[in-house]
Amino acid sequence: MIASVETNGLRFDMFTGEERFLAPNAVLVSARQDAFLIDCGFVKSDVEKLLKFVGQSGKRLRAIFITHAHPDHYGGVNAFAEAFPEATLLARQGVIDGMLEWPAKRLHWQDMFGDQLPVDLVYPRPLLGKAAYLADREMLFLDLPICETVHATAFYVPSARALIAGDLIFNRYHLYMGDTNNPTAWISAIEQARGIGPIDLVFPGHGKLGGVDICAETIRWLKDYRNVARPGVHFTAIAREMMRRYPDHGLALLLWLTRGPGFGTAGAREIGVPAELLGG
Ligand SMILES: [Zn+2]
């Protein structure tokens, strides 16, 4: 699925993966000739569609930026490195360090996604500096405080008043708290990003393209979570309560994922994850 918008000489195409593969967004930002890609999909079938879309855009892909070290945002690195050898693959060092956990994550996700997963990864080069330029348009790098991950980068294009938020913002999807469980820091991160300048377009990590109001919606969910997830409350009780409060939000499976040996879906049935969240 692609959502496209053109503004002030730039075009933004947001590609969304299939719901059963966590529906991650990737955003192609294009000027007349050149383009940047921010995140690059997860499983092979989605990545193939994204590759085709980027190829057919006719733009010269100059760089691929990875927002954070979760595989639903970097799973396409190998395929893109092969298909677009002239595009530089870039991420902040902290994000690269997190990507080194891929072999362990693959072990857990293979229960659900099997041979849809990449085996090895091509790792990005360190992203340095404060901004990149597409034609003469600036795209700023925002180093975020702890939010969904310890290290994450969002991107802001002032001339388009556009925030490419990665998993800083979710639109009508449950948030994944399993890495940091720190709603207060996450709220600060959103406030910091929202303060960067005027924002008309927000490209979330999951969910539809929105306006700046989806920042407030994400904060509302986090405040609810903070009330529900008090110390001592078991994570399965938190998951059930957040599903009750937000029955229409997608990806409730994210509420059931934890760090450590139980990360991913290993043992999912044993802890009572509703079967429909596991793809049947
Ligand atoms: Zn994600």
Q: How far is the CA of 214 from the centre of ligand 1 (A)?
A: 16
pLDDT at residue 185 above 70?
yes
> Using 50, 70 and 90 to split pLDDT, how confident is the model at 104?
confident
Average pLDDT across the chain, whole number: 94
Q: How far is the CA of 206 from the centre of ligand 1 (A)?
A: 6
Best CA proximity match to 64, nearest among 248, 75, 43:
75
Torsion (CA) 12, 18, 23, 29 in degrees, nearest 10: -10
Q: How far is the CA of 27 from the centre of ligand 1 (A)?
A: 13
Pick the CATH number of 2-229 from 3.90.950.10, 3.60.15.10, 3.10.20.310, 3.30.300.30: 3.60.15.10
pLDDT at residue 164 above 70?
yes
DSSP annotation of 43: S
Question: Other CB atoms closer than 10 Å to residue 23's CB: what's the count?
Answer: 19
Backbone angles phi, psi at 6, to 5 degrees: -120, 135
Q: How far is the CA of 84 from the centre of ligand 1 (A)?
A: 23
Cβ < 5 A residues, ion ligand 1: 24, 72, 167, 205
Q: How far is the CA of 73 from the centre of ligand 1 (A)?
A: 6
Tokens encoding 149? 């991950």
Question: Other CB atoms closer than 10 Å to residue 189's CB: what's the count?
Answer: 24
Identify the pLDDT of residue 198.
Answer: 98
> Using 50, 70 and 90 to split pLDDT, how confident is the model at 261?
low
DSSP bridge partners of 91: 126
Domain boundaries in the chain?
2-229
Tokens encoding 200? 């008309």
Give the mean model confidence (pLDDT) for residues 40-53: 97
pLDDT at residue 114 above 90?
no
Q: How far is the CA of 40 from the centre of ligand 1 (A)?
A: 11
- SS3 state of residue 264: coil
Identify the pLDDT of residue 260.
Answer: 59
pLDDT at residue 263 above 60?
no
Q: Is the pTM of this model over 0.85?
A: yes
pLDDT at residue 95 above 60?
yes
Of the chain, the percentage scoring pLDDT greater than 90 comes to 83
